[in-house]
């Protein structure tokens, strides 16, 4: 073969190889694109213990669902149901455990009848504030204990928001002494309800959607709920005259996001991470929203709606704290698992209380100082 013809042959061969490689690469990219387009889309249900559009508590799950869909590029779609739309507000634990829905948004203390130690994962009377409770869960061993006790129920729990320090609640009579609590029917759950009972009151467990009518008809004399932002939206000021603080019963209530364990672990790892990240974002967002909105809502209640804002008398608070200590110690003695949870929680609480005495509390006192 002549040199010129040989060079032409090599050039033709080289160009042919390039074309072939290009076609192979294009085919591979098309196949990759098809795989991406054809990835499975998961359509899940999320049930909550709150009215559908209740500010913060009811709207945060919707925010979570939107965030997860965006982060997953549409691969995870979550439909949110308020209380009583799919199941009752106090049926969330069982429904998620059984797979009726894949996700729930609720409060751990509702399940004390199933797991005695659950109030420690939500709120304890005269216990930790929101940021103290969050710190215990994430860095003090709380999350590990929480997952341990939920695992037999086919559930994975994570933080899903925090109310911050709540108000004590709405009353149709003044509270000037312990005598005024005697026989008072109040919607107040969990350990706070037991303390209230020992103080002479009558605690009632009732889902949020039923409370307004119960107050209106006199079936309840009082109710606790959350704080001014939520309480104003719920309209309790139209059926009760007195608004009492401080919220000794729930100083920093953690809300929970619970996942059906079997369904969650069957997901691709990236979607698992997206769900957990979304729950963490919701946890902080809900607390931030309440902190930002409570002050203006309280001003509206007092200045525009004429609500009587009252502080509980010191002697009442002292007796409630004494009774709370008894109730918590008795709970800790329920069984070995609850004792371990209590010891972890109590040790962490003691440490942060010591620090906050010279940090947060000292600063708050200094802000209130008046120049001579």
**pLDDT tens digits, one per residue of 211-253:** 999 999 999 999 999 999 999 999 999 999 999 999 999 999 9
- Residue 98 maps to a domain: yes
Cα 124 to the center of its chain, rounded Å:
15
Asked whether residue 51 is assigned to any structural domain, the reply reads yes
Tell me if 272 is assigned to some domain: yes
pLDDT of residue 206: 87
| Residue 371 pLDDT level (bands cut at 50, 70, 90) | low
Residue-wise pLDDT for 80-99, tens only, equals 999 999 999 999 999 999 99
Per 3-state DSSP, the chain is made up of helix, strand and coil in percentages (nearest 5) of 55, 15, 30
Residue 3, SS3? helix
Angle between helices 360-368 and 336-357 (to 10 degrees): 40
The percent of residues above 90 in pLDDT, for the chain, comes to 85
Quick check: 257 and 105 in contact, CB under 8 A? yes
Q: Tell me the pLDDT tens digit for each residue of 18-53.
A: 444 444 554 444 444 444 446 899 999 999 999 888
Is there a domain that residue 120 lies in? yes
Check: CB of residue 239 under 8 Å from CB of residue 216.
yes
Write the Ramachandran bin of 235: left for phi over 0, alpha for psi from -120 to 50, otherwise beta.
Answer: left
Structural domain contains residue 224: no
**pLDDT surpasses 50 at 156:** yes
What are the residues facing 258 on neighbouring strands?
104, 157
Q: What is the pLDDT of residues 161-188, one digit of tens each?
A: 999 999 999 999 999 999 999 999 999 9
Q: What is the pLDDT of residue 278?
A: 98
How many separate helices (H) and strands (E) can be counted in the chain? 13, 11
- Extract the tokens encoding 269: 């790892």
b/e string for 249-286 if b means 16 or more Cβ within 10 A?
bbbbbbbbbbbbbebbeebeeebeebbeebbebbbebb
Q: Considering only CA atoms, which of 122, 51, 124, 54 is closest in space to residue 82?
A: 51
Query: Does some domain include residue 30?
Result: no
How many domains is the chain partitioned into structurally?
A: 1
For residue 267, give the DSSP letter. S
Mean pLDDT estimate for the chain: 91
Q: Which pTM value belongs to this model?
A: 0.85
Is residue 301 domain-resident?
A: no
| CATH (domain of 260) | 3.40.190.170
Q: What is the widest separation between alpha-carbon atoms in the chain?
A: 117
- Residue 304 belongs to what H/E stretch? none
- By CB atoms closer than 10 A (0-12, 13-18, 19+), residue 200 is middle
**To 10 degrees, what angle do helices 130-139 and 142-150 make?**
70
Q: What is the spatial order of strands in the sheet that 222-223 belongs to?
A: 202-204, 185-187, 222-223, 169-171, 242-245, 308-311
Q: 138 lies in which domain range?
A: 42-163+253-291
Q: Does residue 135 sit within a domain?
A: yes
Alpha helices in 38-160 (DSSP H): 60-71, 92-98, 130-139, 142-150
């Amino acid at each position: 073969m002549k040199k010129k013809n040989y060079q032409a042959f090599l050039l033709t061969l080289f160009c042919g190889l390039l074309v072939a490689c290009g076609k192979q690469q294009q085919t591979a990219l098309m196949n990759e694109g098809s795989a991406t387009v054809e990835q499975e889309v998961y359509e899940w249900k999320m049930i909550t213990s709150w009215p559908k559009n209740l500010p913060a508590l009811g709207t945060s799950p919707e925010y979570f669902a939107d965030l997860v869909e965006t982060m997953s590029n549409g691969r995870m779609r979550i439909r949110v149901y308020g209380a009583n739309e799919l199941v009752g507000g106090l049926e969330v634990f069982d429904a998620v455990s059984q797979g009726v829905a894949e996700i729930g948004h609720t409060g751990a203390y509702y399940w004390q009848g199933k797991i005695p130690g659950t109030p420690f994962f939500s709120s304890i009377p005269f216990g930790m504030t929101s940021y103290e409770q969050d710190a215990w869960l994430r860095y003090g061993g709380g999350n590990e204990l929480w997952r341990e006790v939920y695992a037999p129920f086919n559930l994975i729990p994570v933080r899903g928001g925090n109310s911050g320090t709540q108000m004590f609640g709405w009353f149709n009579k003044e509270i000037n002494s312990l005598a005024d609590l005697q026989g008072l029917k109040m919607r107040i759950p969990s350990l706070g309800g037991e303390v209230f009972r020992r103080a002479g009151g009558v605690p009632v467990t009732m889902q949020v959607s039923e409370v307004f009518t119960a107050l209106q008809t006199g079936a309840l004399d009082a109710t606790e709920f959350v704080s001014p932002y939520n309480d104003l939206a719920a309209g309790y000021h139209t059926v009760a005259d007195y608004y009492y603080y401080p919220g000794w019963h729930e100083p920093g209530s953690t809300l929970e996001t619970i996942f059906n364990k079997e369904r969650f672990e069957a997901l691709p790892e990236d979607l698992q991470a997206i769900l957990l990240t979304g729950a963490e974002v919701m946890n902080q967002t809900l607390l931030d929203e309440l902190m930002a909105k409570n002050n203006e809502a309280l001003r509206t209640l007092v200045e525009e709606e004429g609500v009587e804002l009252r502080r509980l008398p010191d002697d009442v608070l002292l007796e409630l704290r004494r009774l709370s200590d008894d109730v918590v110690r008795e709970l800790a003695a329920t069984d070995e698992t609850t004792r371990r949870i209590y010891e972890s929680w109590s040790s962490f609480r003691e440490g942060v209380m010591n620090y906050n005495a010279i940090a947060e509390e000292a600063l708050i006192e200094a802000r209130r100082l008046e120049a001579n």
